[in-house]
Amino acid sequence: MADSSHFPDVVDEFHAHIVFHPHISESVQAAVDIRAKVAQRYLKYQVMPLQSARAAFPMPMIQIVIPKDQAASFGEFISWLALNRHPTHSILLHPITNNQDYPMSHALYDHQHLAWWCGPPLPLDFSFGNCSAYLKPEEKSYADLRVGIAKAKVQEEAKIVSILSKLPQSHQTIVPTKTKL
């Protein structure tokens, strides 16, 4: 029987990217709602702020980081996420590996070859700007990227409030909570 208390050694963590439609108020509100619920339900997961369309993603998203020491809850999490996904959301799930033996950057391999979708798959574009530089094979860890994300959290929270303020009153049911750095 497999040991579900930890990810295999080659996996450092898992990511879930909840991609939502910025011009559909129900999609934005559902993204805010699911973000708040994940933060309340999975206390040891890193629930990132809403992020605008960037890098490979064609639309805004929420990123959730499932740390290596939370592997035991991963199956329950993806089941819960699938059952609570809004119909307008597409969710990309993938591991973050440390395998330097891949024929390409492990970051690119993780997003293209080790990923799966819940909901409609979206085309990802790995060919532009800082995304292509970030995905080039090099001795660079995800830790460098996390530092930048942590610094941006406070600013991103302001974006959530801004998005919510533009929605009709009937959709402003949940006010996002501040994430701890």
What pLDDT digit, counting tens, does each position of 23-81 carry? 999 999 999 999 999 999 999 999 998 888 877 788 999 999 999 899 899 999 999 99
Residue type, 161: V
Q: Among the CATH numbers 3.30.70.270, 3.30.70.1240, 2.60.40.10, 3.40.630.30, which is that of 11-171?
A: 3.30.70.1240
* Residue written as token pair 């460098």: 144
Q: Where are the domains of the chain?
A: 11-171
pTM for the predicted model, two decimal places:
0.70
Angle (CA) 45-161-175 rounded to 5° is 65
Residues 158-174 pLDDT 10s: 666 676 667 665 544 44
